[in-house]
């Protein structure tokens, strides 16, 4: 079996609780959603079998790996890859849109799940370490509260939408204030795409 990939690269995590963490990002091709503001290219650039992919990751010399996309949970064989990496001592994270519940064996291999549910998309994921909601057009406080009620997490973030020529920070801050007026615990926090602000690839 071969994995459909767009790219594999080392950088600093730019969002959420792990901001600044050096990570190997394994960007899988394909997504089960088509968000109109999405700026990510997840077309197929390469196909590697498990041994080839493990070698590519090992050559980068970093022991933290994040599966991303697109939507990594639509990738066949992800559990086997995660288990192989875990056996080699890697810290493993995943970034998912929340439309798929990972199987138990995959959850057991993952150290961190970050989910970014999308407006009008089915929300299936029930537990994560952090929730990041992009404040795109149509996102309301009620929708954010509904996501929070469905997904149990330790951290909840709002991320400004990168649309209309730049990060839309003010609408995110205003929504943050509305949500935190209810004094939820933990509070909602702002998560900027710091890698873009700092010019980090």
* Residues assigned a catalytic role: 25, 31, 35, 38-40, 95, 195
Q: What is the DSSP string of 172-187?
A: HHHHHHHHHTT--SSP
Q: What is the DSSP letter of 143?
A: H
> Taking the C-alpha atoms of 78, 96, 40 and 149 in order, what is their torsion angle to the nearest 10 degrees?
170
Q: The dihedral of CA 7, 97, 17, 109: what is its sign?
A: negative
- The secondary structure of the chain in percent helix, strand, coil, rounded to multiples of 5, reads 25, 30, 45
SS3 186: coil
Task: Give the count of beta carbons closer than 10 Å to the beta carbon of residue 2.
Answer: 13
- Which residue, among 89, 85, 136, 126, has the nearest Cα to 106 in the 3D structure? 85
Q: Rg (Cα) of the chain, in Å, rounded?
A: 17
């Amino acid at each position: 079996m071969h994995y459909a990939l767009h790219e594999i690269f080392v950088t600093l995590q730019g969002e959420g609780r792990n901001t600044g963490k050096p990570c190997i990002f394994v960007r899988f091709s394909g997504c089960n959603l088509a968000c109109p503001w999405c700026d990510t290219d997840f077309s197929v650039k390469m196909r590697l079998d498990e041994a080839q992919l493990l070698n590519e990751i090992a050559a980068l010399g970093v022991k933290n790996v994040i599966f991303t996309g697109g939507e990594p949970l639509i990738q066949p064989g992800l559990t086997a890859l995660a288990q192989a990496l875990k056996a080699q001592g890697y810290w493993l994270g995943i970034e998912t849109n929340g439309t798929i519940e990972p199987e138990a064996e995959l959850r057991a291999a993952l150290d961190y799940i970050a989910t970014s549910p999308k407006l009008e998309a089915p929300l299936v994921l029930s537990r994560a370490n952090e929730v990041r909601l992009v404040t795109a057009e149509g996102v309301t406080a009620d929708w954010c509260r509904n996501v929070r009620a469905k997904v149990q997490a330790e951290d909840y973030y709002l991320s400004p939408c990168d649309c209309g020529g730049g990060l839309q920070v003010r609408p995110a801050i205003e929504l943050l204030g509305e949500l935190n007026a209810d004094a939820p615990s933990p509070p909602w926090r702002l998560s900027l795409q710091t890698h873009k602000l700092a010019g980090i690839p």
